[in-house]
Structure 1
């Protein structure tokens, strides 16, 4: 009799543990899928399938990705949104939408529509012939049509409603467009151009919600003046070669954009709360500044990229014959524009409270 009671007690303990685990998993998997839009910070390889010089599907890119595969991500490994996808429990990494080999199950848990070199300004993607933000939205509409054919309209609507949408763009609008070409500078002051971009952000987010998106996180601009490429192009010879200090005037532009973006997103959250929408501001600026200024973390090289000289190389300029540092984890930047996998990982960890705030009820 004593043995029977012990056995029953053990079964009760096992049952309670299983119930606790199941409940915890339920709380942490309130996301059906993850969808990304934007530029190279969110592009896992869509540019592989279009005619553009803005590609990274070759060595040494992907050197630290699983199986050392150069997927088309503009870094040595994973992106921020790969780590977020794993955190919310939908997949290990986010594939590119344009990969025609993806199965229905792979599509069902989310894809990225982003394109390296793109931006909110319609002129920006034309510079390197990449996929515009508006075209990315069109591709999302095609995605929905595919899913409706595969799993039905109602299930697709529920999938979209419970999905996490990530939007990350804007840096190319300044670095590759406004600061490099004269076209926009003729008609816009820097502040006016920032407002011009944010009008496009607002319009895009409204269109995304019209398509059923309800959980949206929008990234701010990283510290633009600390990009190795920007330091090189905006410094005198001494700073460009030896000191390589951040260009404060350029980072100030990013700060102004970020301030206005945060206010705009707060206003949008109020405007669209009745739809059940949750719109979050993702601060990638602060953790990256902390890395660069040595406030946190343990990076040794913060003003040059790991690839080449690390001051001007990115995309095809960082290639199989380039010098590459032996240990990218010591660097904040992989090439002259894009952070390393380690930096992306640390940023992703800093973003988790924000992500949880819109994905957990």
Structure 2
């Protein structure tokens, strides 16, 4: 389904700068804080919320490298981002002085020197469960980690092993996924729902998450940011399928309880692996924006900007008419957020999260 709406994922890097900066802080101060904590780069794993175009290189229908996607990106250019413009990761990278757009690792036009600023290995339609990715022929986490190993080799060749190891050790690992595991894999396909109850599947996903994090740690990760699953029942597509005017409470409860399990396991990993981690409560941020749009400068949060806004996403959004002002919408299509929503998530993350990942 390529739904990957764990929107807050990449914004999580801003946690690193808490509580030292606010959005009003001078850009130079932001960069000084990043330098103070030796933040070297951002390495991203997950789904379409953080995929800047890796799926462009795959034989899959889960792509967005065509208009109207990218309508408000630089030069109105579609890149494979499932939005009208930039992702949260792009804004963060620019704020701390890296680049205006985090590159997709599989982008053939990416220069080796740019890898020093980080890269995204994410793949739209992926999830904690490898089966989720396999259903859409995209990159499962296991493959994303394999490409990360290639990334490390590139760094070794570029700056030498010692500096490469230091880069990885001081990098921020951002993980954002889980939405497709439920919407595409569990509720749409018959395989997992026959094997697990909802709670059993939640536990299975958490166990997969733990194994992935252990592998990242083995490969050098020491700083980890995990984004919770958003309120699934508030997606325009879900509400259309459920014939509901408001957010579906059952789906939201599944997301909320899963997030609780994630946090419990993170607390254990923090002690057993000695990693520094932060959790981003994407659920609350998005739910608040949907419930109180005027407080965020939004007008429309019940449907997307593309087409009817109720069912279109990915290929079904190709060539469709769009709303005049996407900045008034929370959703770009029936699943994914607008560039404005990514900015809102970033701002809300800064306001609501008090703990810093690095101190």
TM-score by length of 1: 0.87
Where does residue 105 of structure 2 map in the other structure?
A: 97
Q: Deviations over 1:64-91 (max 9, x none)?
A: 1111110100000111221222233322
Shift in Å at residue 343 of structure 1?
0.6
Where does residue 254 of structure 1 map in the other structure?
A: 255
Structure index of larger Rg: 1
Where does residue 70 of structure 1 map in the other structure?
A: 78
Contact 1:32 1:90 in 2 (8 A): no
Where does residue 325 of structure 1 map in the other structure?
A: 323
Where does residue 130 of structure 1 map in the other structure?
A: 138
Shift in Å at residue 315 of structure 1?
0.5
Distance 1:225 1:150, change over 3 A: same
Cα-Cα RMSD: 1.7
Where does residue 11 of structure 2 map in the other structure?
A: none
Contact 2:31 2:96 in 1 (8 A): no
Contact 2:165 2:220 in 1 (8 A): yes
Counterparts of residues 1-361 of structure 1 (less than 5 Å): 25-29=31-35, 30-235=38-243, 239=244, 244-273=245-274, 277-294=275-292, 296-320=295-319, 322-352=320-350, 357-358=356-357, 360-361=358-359
Shift in Å at residue 22 of structure 1?
8.4
Distance 1:319 1:217, change over 3 A: same
Distance 1:248 1:167, change over 3 A: same
Q: Deviations over 1:77-127 (max 9, x none)?
A: 111221222233322221100012212220111010000001111110111
Contact 1:225 1:231 in 2 (8 A): yes
Contact 1:217 1:355 in 2 (8 A): no
CA distance in 2, matches of 1:74, 1:356: 30
CA distance in 1, matches of 2:354, 2:107: 27
Larger RCO, structure (CA 8 Å, separation 6 or more): 2
Contact 2:31 2:95 in 1 (8 A): no
CA distance in 2, matches of 1:202, 1:250: 23
SS in 2 for 1:135: helix
Structure 1 unaligned segments of length 5 or more: list them.
Answer: 1-20
Contact 1:147 1:156 in 2 (8 A): yes
Q: Which moved more, 1:162-171 or 1:88-97?
A: 88-97
SS in 2 for 1:123: helix
CA distance in 2, matches of 1:267, 1:167: 17
Shift in Å at residue 58 of structure 1?
0.4
Shift in Å at residue 298 of structure 1?
2.5
Where does residue 13 of structure 2 map in the other structure?
A: none
Contact 1:162 1:215 in 2 (8 A): yes
SS in 1 for 2:139: coil
Aligned residues: 329
Shift in Å at residue 330 of structure 1?
1.1
Contact 2:285 2:349 in 1 (8 A): no
Structure 2 unaligned segments of length 5 or more: list them.
Answer: 1-26
TM-score by length of 2: 0.88
CA distance in 2, matches of 1:234, 1:266: 35
CA distance in 2, matches of 1:67, 1:165: 29
CA distance in 2, matches of 1:225, 1:82: 27
Q: Deviations over 1:237-267 (max 9, x none)?
A: xx4xxxx211111011000011111111122
Where do 4+ consecutive residues of structure 1 move more than 6 Å?
Answer: 21-24
Shift in Å at residue 327 of structure 1?
0.7
SS in 1 for 2:120: coil
CA distance in 2, matches of 1:352, 1:266: 21
CA distance in 1, matches of 2:42, 2:194: 39
